[in-house]
Amino acid sequence: MDTADLANLSDKLMLTTVVLYIVAMVSYAADLGFGRRRAEAEAHAEKKVLVGAGAPAAEEPAEAPAEPTRRTDWARLAVTLTALGWLAHLGVLVTRGLAVSRWPWGNMYEFLTAIAFAAMTAFLVVLVRFNARFLGAFVTLAAVIALGVANIWLYDSAGPVSPALNSYWIAIHVTAAITATGAFTVAGCATLLYLVRERRDAARAVDAPGGFWSRVPSTEDLDRLALRVTMFGFPVWTAAIIMGAIWADDAWGSYWSWDPKEVWSFVTWIVYAAYLHARATAGWKGRKAAILSLIAFGALLFNFFGVNYMFSGMHSYA
């Protein structure tokens, strides 16, 4: 394949990725809404069969079990579609990189596409490690929005980048920033869900059988999950800032120039550091910690969108 064919394949794989993620998102939502109802129905049917099998002969014989009805396993479907979407997403990045003969995050389209991939990768790790399937609908929604923004407003044809980005540091510094942002996105989804769940629990609402909230963990579990993912992302973000400073000295002759991107990256680091420090030393948890975490995530989003389009500086590649 020549570069034009690879670039075209990357665009087609992008469409495939978005479609798979959308269907996966709907499947996760269906699992949240109907998954427990199905589990309860299967448990009830199994109980009837066991009771009937063990009943004394003198008793009235148990009813014959009804013909099994076909039910959609939304959880398995959602996870399968997510894995297929992740593979297609990986294909988007690989073919784009081969088409341009460089690391495929040299412009805003590629960068946001890579961040969405990092977020989905972080979610799959959390899914395997903590069985956090309940986050699937929210993380896939975030990924679909990111990919939609990338394709509608930020799309750039495959081609060369500015000379400042032609460096091996892009594979180190930018990769670390993408990885941390993906982890912070998953933590942000868990934190938002925590705040909504906390407010609902405070209202003392009762879960309907098979309802949405019966599938979501407790506020304590959501709080703990957000903390663990943030603890992974924070040192990676720290490394990204340090390596960015080294790259800046190599490219511009100064480790720190108070560029808007540098400043807001450091502001984001400060707020996440305050969040972790408050939890470790002051015993913060729950709502106060969640609000601070969302402030940090807001600073991260502003660093990506606001700084790139509202300020000019040495990082103005938008």
What's the rounded Cα separation, in Å, for the pair 115 and 233?
13
The pLDDT of residue 51: 45
The two tokens of residue 269 are 């680091």
pLDDT at 316: 61
Q: Cα(198)–Cα(28) distance, rounded to whole angstroms?
A: 21
**Please, are residues 141 and 25 in contact by the beta-carbon 8 Å criterion?**
yes
Look-up: residue for tokens 């081969």? 98
Please tell me the predicted confidence (pLDDT) of residue 187: 97
Cβ distance 62 to 55 under 8 Å? yes
pLDDT at 207: 56
Q: What is the pLDDT of residue 71?
A: 62
Residue 205: what pLDDT?
57
Positive or negative, the CA dihedral 42, 47, 48, 53 is positive
Which positions of the chain have pLDDT values less than 70?
35-71, 204-212, 313-318
Q: Is the pTM of this model over 0.95?
A: no
d(CA 225, CA 296): 16
Helix (H, G, I), strand (E, B) or coil at 168: coil
> Residue 67: its pLDDT value, please?
47
pLDDT at 313: 63
Greatest pairwise CA separation for the chain in angstroms: 93
| Spans of all domains in the chain | 3-310
| Confidence at residue 43, expressed as pLDDT on a 0 to 100 scale | 44
Amino acid identity at 258: W
Residue 286 confidence (pLDDT): 86
Residue 314: the pLDDT is: 63
Closest CA to 252 of 317, 313, 310: 313
The DSSP output letter for 68 is P
